[in-house]
C-alpha cells in the first residue's frame, strides 16, 4: 500500500532528524515537558498508555500486519473478503489520517527543515480525497483538520491554474494552516 510506505518514510525521517538534533543537547529536557500520553487498544481490548512514537509504531505495525494477512486481504482469485472488511479498511485509513495529523501538529517544522512538506501535503491531499470519495472517514474524524484540508484543496486549484509563484505560495498556505493548529491539540 503506497500511502503506508510514504507515511513510514516521512515519519521515520522525522524521528531520525529529531533524534540526531536533540539527542546530544539539553533540548531533550524541554521535549519531555511537551510529552503527551496516547492510548492504544491491543488485540485483547486492553488499553495501553504509550508515547506518540510507540502509539504510531503500534498503528503502522497493525496496518502492515493487516495488509499482509491473507484472510483479510486475499490475493487469490475467487477468495472471499471477510464480513467486517469495510470496517477494517475504515480503521486503516483512520490510523493513517491520525498519523498524518500527528505529523502536522508535532513535526511540521521538521518536515519544512527536511524539505518533506510538499510530499506530506501531497500525500495528505490524496489520502483525504480518496477517503471522501469512498466514505472511509466520518466528518468528526476529519473535523480537526478541516481548515487544512480546505487550504490544501484551494492551494492545489490555484497552483494548477498557474497562480501564485515562489514564496507567496508557502506564506499563503502557512497562514491558512495556522487556523487549524489549535484544533489538533485535542485530536488523536
Q: Is 107 annotated as a binding residue?
A: yes
Give first-to-last CA distance, the chain, whole Å. Answer: 22
Output phi, psi for 17, to 5 deg: -60, -45
* Bridge partners for 120 per DSSP: none
Output phi, psi for 115, to 5 deg: 75, 20
d(CA 17, CA 162) in angstroms, rounded, equals: 34
d(CA 162, CA 151) in angstroms, rounded, equals: 17
56: which residues sit within 8 A by CB, 6+ positions away?
Answer: 11, 99, 102
- Strand, helix or coil for residue 48: strand
Detail the residues annotated as belonging to a binding site.
Answer: 102, 107
Detail the residues annotated as belonging to a binding site for Zn(2+).
Answer: 102, 107
Amino acid at each position: 500500500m503506497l500511502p503506508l510506505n510514504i507515511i513510514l518514510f516521512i515519519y521515520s525521517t522525522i524521528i531520525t532528524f529529531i533524534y540526531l538534533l536533540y539527542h546530544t543537547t539539553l533540548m531533550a529536557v524541554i521535549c519531555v515537558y511537551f510529552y503527551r500520553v496516547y492510548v492504544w487498544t491491543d488485540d485483547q481490548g486492553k488499553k495501553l498508555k504509550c508515547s506518540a512514537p510507540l502509539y504510531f509504531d503500534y498503528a503502522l505495525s497493525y496496518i502492515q500486519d493487516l495488509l499482509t494477512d491473507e484472510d483479510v486481504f486475499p490475493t487469490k482469485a475467487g477468495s472471499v473478503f471477510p464480513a467486517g472488511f469495510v470496517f477494517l479498511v475504515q480503521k486503516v485509513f483512520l490510523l493513517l489520517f491520525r498519523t498524518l495529523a500527528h505529523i502536522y501538529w508535532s513535526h511540521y517544522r521538521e518536515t519544512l527543515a527536511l524539505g518533506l512538506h510538499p510530499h506530506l501535503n501531497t500525500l495528505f491531499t490524496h489520502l483525504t480525497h480518496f477517503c471522501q470519495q469512498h466514505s472511509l472517514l466520518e466528518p468528526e474524524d476529519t473535523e480537526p483538520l478541516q481548515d487544512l484540508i480546505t487550504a490544501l484543496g484551494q492551494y492545489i486549484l490555484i497552483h494548477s491554474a498557474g497562480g501564485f509563484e515562489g514564496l507567496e505560495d508557502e506564506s499563503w498556505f502557512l497562514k491558512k494552516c495556522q487556523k487549524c493548529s489549535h484544533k489538533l491539540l485535542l485530536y488523536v
